[in-house]
Structure 1
Amino acid sequence: MTFIARVNPKYFAAIHQCAAKGDVRYYLNAVHIERHPSGGVLIVVTNGHFMGAMHDPDGWIDPARESVLLGSASKRLLSACTARRGADHEPPAQLWIAEKFSLVSSQVETTEEPELFGETSHLTEKTELVDGVFPSWRKVMPSKRRTQVEPFPCLNGEYLEVFNKIGVLLSGQKQFGGGGIRLEASEGKGSVVVRFNHHELVDRFLGIVMPMHADPVESLLPEWAAPKDEDQKAA
């Protein structure tokens, strides 16, 4: 057996939350793993409307490859990636990826490949590589933050809920969705950047959300909630 990539299983399961479900554009159902020029790998997933990306500094990809596009992961595989402990009572440490299968292992040491059904192997699951081209995700990266005083864009609440799940998965902290979510609008009518208010994740995770079309809202509050004149004077 020949493994072609290795990633942090928790990172993989978290970023997979951004994948499309059964989209005819099969590459949107997949997980893109590419080499990071400074070391490790980047894990990137998008459904075409929002995106999650993660730098795994300890990840690895076969030197003969620049990227790997792994097809839809099963619920069993994702569950094994996020389990607290496997059958050996140890937490999952690595997700090893081959052309026809993926292996979740508690083996921390990566100088030797794990045995397919060894003591440290939590799950060996059939997976397939996608023969296609992943979207050029860097093209949607904003270059400047918004500086003008403009209303914040309208966002799909379902995507924010997904980012909340990702924050909990990555941090193991349920309170405040993993420490809190930072949202920052880019210049003009561009995308919204999502980052986590967590010391280990703030520079490793990146989310991008495309805003929705929405009618402008002229006031900060609805009329019934606006403070009365006497309240404003007292303030």
Structure 2
Amino acid sequence: MEYLARINPKYFAAMYQCAAKNDVRYYLNAVNIERHPDGGVVIAATNGDFLGVIHDPEGWMHEDHNSLLVGIPSKRLISACTTRRGPDTFEPNKLWIAEKFSVVTGCVEATDPPEPFGIGAHLTEKTELVDGKFPDWRKVLPTEREKLETQFPWINGEYIEAFNKIATILTGRKAFAGGGLHLEARDDCRSVVVRLANYELKDRFVGVIMPMKGDPLETIVPAFAMPKPGSDVDQAA
């Protein structure tokens, strides 16, 4: 069986967090892998409301393909992609993708494509390619910074939690020590851009959250938290 792509397994598992689950738009229930013109591949997934994209400069794609849509992976595959050490004591560092299955491997020195059930395979799992066209994710990414003249938009807290999980998978740190999430919105409120503070990932990963509808806030804090006129807090301000 011929391999069609090779990517960082952590990148795959992290972007999968953004994929739809059982959506009628079947092409959203997948992780998209596409060739990058400057080298490597780009891995992206979205459920239509939030998006995750990461550049894998070490990634590879077969010359006969410019993109692949990998269907919903099993929990076993995601676990094998994110575990600290595989059965050979090596950390997973490559996910090899074929038409009907994928293989997670860990030995850095190994350069040849792995045997599906060979000694270097952490896991060989059935996967399927999806026949469809992934949305053009570049259309929702603003390329120029704008000054926000209005209030920051409302956003779904579940997506913030998802991006925190993505950061944890990518860094291997449950506390995401030394990093954080940077959110930036535009006045048209069409998208909120998410960046990761980690030095290696800040220029490699980008996410997008579509804002929610909500009433504007009249004050920065609720009325009950406002200092009473003449109070010490009010006078200090």
1:54-133 residue pairs with structure 2 within 5 A? 54-109=54-109, 111-133=111-133
Matched AA of 2:163? F
Aligned-pair CA distance for 1:134: 0.5
Q: Check conservation: 1:85, 1:91, Cα contact below 8 A.
A: yes
Q: Check conservation: 1:173, 1:179, Cα contact below 8 A.
A: no
Aligned-pair CA distance for 1:187: 3.5
Greater shift, 100-109 or 17-26, is seen at 100-109
Q: Check conservation: 2:34, 2:43, Cα contact below 8 A.
A: yes
Matched AA of 1:56? D
Aligned-pair CA distance for 1:146: 3.4
Partner SS for 1:167: helix
> Match for residue 206 of structure 2?
206
Paired with 1:178 and 1:69, the residues of 2 have a C-alpha distance of: 34
Paired with 1:89 and 1:146, the residues of 2 have a C-alpha distance of: 48
Aligned-pair CA distance for 1:194: 0.3
Greater shift, 166-175 or 74-83, is seen at 166-175
> Match for residue 49 of structure 1?
49
Paired with 2:69 and 2:38, the residues of 1 have a C-alpha distance of: 20
Paired with 1:8 and 1:151, the residues of 2 have a C-alpha distance of: 38
Q: Check conservation: 1:170, 1:178, Cα contact below 8 A.
A: no
Q: Check conservation: 2:149, 2:187, Cα contact below 8 A.
A: no
Give TM-score scaled by structure 1 length.
0.96
Q: Note the aligned Cα RMSD (angstroms).
A: 1.4
Q: Check conservation: 1:182, 1:197, Cα contact below 8 A.
A: yes
% same residue = 59
Q: Check conservation: 1:164, 1:178, Cα contact below 8 A.
A: no
Paired with 1:168 and 1:78, the residues of 2 have a C-alpha distance of: 14
> Match for residue 172 of structure 1?
172
> Match for residue 158 of structure 2?
158
Give unmatched runs, 5+ long, in structure 2: none
Paired with 1:104 and 1:47, the residues of 2 have a C-alpha distance of: 25
Paired with 1:232 and 1:146, the residues of 2 have a C-alpha distance of: 34
Q: Check conservation: 1:142, 1:190, Cα contact below 8 A.
A: no
Q: Does 1:30 align with 2:45?
A: no
Paired with 1:192 and 1:113, the residues of 2 have a C-alpha distance of: 39
